[in-house]
Amino acid sequence: MAEVARKMNIYEAISRCMEEIGAVGKDAENEQQGFKYRGIDAVMNAINPVLTKNHVFIVPEVLEQRREERTKKSGGALIYSICRIKYTFYAEDGSFIEAVTVGEGMDSGDKATNKAMAIAFKYACFQVFCIPTEEMKDPDGEIPEPVTPESQFMPATVEQLHKISEFVDAYAEMCKDTTSSDVMGNLKKKYNFSKTSEISVELADKLIEQVEFWYKKKKEADA
User: For 111-145, b where at least 16 C-beta lie within 10 A, e where not — what string?
Assistant: ebbebbbbbbbbbbbbebbebeeeeeeeeeeeeee
**Whole-number mean pLDDT of the chain?**
82
Q: In the chain, what are the domains?
A: 10-129 (3.30.390.80), 158-222 (no CATH)
DSSP track, 141-210: G--PPPPPPPPPP-BPPHHHHHHHHHHHHHHHHHSTT--HHHHHHHHHHHHT--SGGG-BHHHHHHHHHH
**Are 28 and 37 a contacting pair, CB within 8 Å?**
yes
Amino acid, single-letter form, for residue 30: N
* Position 139 pLDDT exceeds 60: no
C-alpha Rg value of the chain to the nearest Å: 35
Is the pTM for the entire model greater than 0.75?
Answer: no
- Which amino acid does the sequence have at 79? I
- Residue 114 has phi, psi (to 5 degrees) of -60, -40
CA distance 114 to 103: 10
The residue-averaged pLDDT of 178-204 equals 88
pLDDT at 1 over 50: no
Band of residue 197 on the pLDDT scale cut at 50, 70, 90: confident
- For the chain, the first-to-last Cα distance in angstroms comes to 121
CB atoms within 10 A of CB 160: 18
pLDDT band at 223 (very low <50, low <70, confident <90, very high): low
Of 135, 156, 167, 161, nearest in space to 202 by CA: 156
The pLDDT of residue 21 is above 60: yes
Tens of pLDDT, residue by residue over 37-90, are 677 888 888 899 999 999 999 999 999 999 888 877 677 788 889 999 999 999
